[in-house]
C-alpha cells in the first residue's frame, strides 16, 4: 500500500512539474494583405496569451524566425514594441490567475517593398522564472505570393491522447493529397527519440512509450519539409 502511494505521488508530482501554465493562440496563422493590414502599414496579428493557473505569473514572449525573405523585417510588441533585432521581450508582464490577454502580444511583418515575400515565424510565451514552461504558435506571412503553407488548409494534427501517458499515446492526423509529413519527437535537450514518416491522407499514429523515460517531449511536425506545428507529450511512470 505504501509503495503504491509513493508511486502515485511521484507520478502526480511529475505531471505537476511538467504541466503547462500558459497557452497561446494566434487570431490568424496565415497572414497576407487581404486579411491582416495593421495601423503601422504592415501585416500582422494578435496572439492571445492565457494564464492557466490560479497564481499570478510574470510572462515574457519570444520570436524565432524559421524562414524569411531577404530584405524584409519582422518584429513584435509585448507591453512595448521592439525592433527587429529583439528576439526575447526585455520586460515581463503580470497575468492574473486565469487571465486571458488578447491584445498585448502583437506580431508584425513588413516586406519593405519587396514584391514577393514570405516568412514563417514561431512565437512563444513563457514563465519568466521557468522558461521551459512555455507555449508556442507558428504564423506564416505572405505578400505577393502564395504562402508556403496555403495548400495545407485542411491539414490538421490532434493533440496527443491520452496525455500524460505511461504506456501508449495516439496522434490523429489529416493531410491534403500529395502531402508528406514527418514527425520528429525530441526530449527537452533536443535529442531525437523517434521519427515517423506519413504520406496517407488520414490516420492515427500509435506511440509506444512504455520504454521511454518519464519527462516532457516535443513532437515537431513537418509537412512537405516545412515546420507545421509542435505538440507536447508528457510521459509519466
Q: Where are the domains of the chain?
A: 1-148, 150-237
Give tens-digit pLDDT for 17-27. 446 899 999 99
Distance between CA atoms of 194 and 24, rounded to whole angstroms?
A: 26
Per-residue pLDDT band for 180 (boundaries 50, 70, 90) equals: confident
Superfamily of domain 1-148: Immunoglobulins (2.60.40.10)
115: its cell numbers: 514584391
233: its cell numbers: 507529450
133: its cell numbers: 514552461
CATH topology of domain 150-237: Immunoglobulin-like (2.60.40)
Asked whether the whole model's pTM tops 0.85, one would answer no
Per-residue pLDDT band for 198 (boundaries 50, 70, 90) equals: confident
**Predicted local confidence at residue 12, as pLDDT:** 40
The residue among 1 and 154 whose pLDDT is bigger is: 154
146: its cell numbers: 502564395
H or E stretch covering 158: none
What is the percent of the chain with per-residue pLDDT over 70, rounded to a whole number? 88
Rg (the chain; Cα; Å): 19
Residue 5: pLDDT above 70? no
Distance between CA atoms of 104 and 124, rounded to whole angstroms?
A: 13
Average pLDDT of the residues in 172-179: 81
Amino acid at each position: 500500500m505504501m509503495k503504491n502511494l509513493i508511486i502515485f505521488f511521484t507520478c502526480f508530482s511529475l505531471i505537476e512539474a511538467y504541466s503547462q501554465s500558459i497557452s497561446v493562440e494566434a487570431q490568424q496563422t496565415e497572414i497576407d494583405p487581404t486579411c491582416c493590414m495593421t495601423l503601422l502599414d504592415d501585416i500582422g496579428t494578435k496572439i492571445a496569451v492565457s494564464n492557466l493557473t490560479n497564481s499570478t505569473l510574470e510572462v515574457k514572449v519570444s520570436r524565432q524566425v524559421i524562414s524569411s525573405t531577404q530584405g524584409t523585417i519582422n518584429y513584435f510588441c509585448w507591453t512595448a514594441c521592439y525592433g527587429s533585432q529583439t528576439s526575447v521581450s526585455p520586460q515581463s508582464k503580470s497575468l492574473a490567475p486565469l487571465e486571458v490577454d488578447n491584445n498585448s502580444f502583437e506580431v508584425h511583418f513588413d516586406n519593405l517593398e519587396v514584391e514577393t515575400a514570405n516568412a514563417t515565424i514561431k512565437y512563444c510565451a513563457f514563465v519568466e522564472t521557468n522558461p521551459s514552461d512555455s507555449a508556442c504558435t507558428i504564423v506564416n506571412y505572405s505578400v505577393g505570393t502564395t504562402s508556403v503553407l496555403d495548400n495545407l488548409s485542411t491539414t490538421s494534427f490532434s493533440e496527443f491522447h491520452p496525455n500524460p501517458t505511461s504506456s501508449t499515446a495516439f496522434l490523429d492526423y489529416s493531410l491534403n493529397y500529395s502531402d508528406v509529413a514527418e514527425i520528429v519527437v525530441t526530449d527537452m535537450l533536443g535529442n531525437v527519440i523517434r521519427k515517423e514518416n506519413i504520406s496517407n491522407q488520414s490516420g492515427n499514429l500509435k506511440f509506444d512509450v512504455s520504454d521511454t523515460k518519464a519527462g516532457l517531449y516535443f513532437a515537431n511536425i513537418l509537412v512537405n519539409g516545412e515546420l507545421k506545428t509542435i505538440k507536447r507529450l508528457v510521459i509519466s511512470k
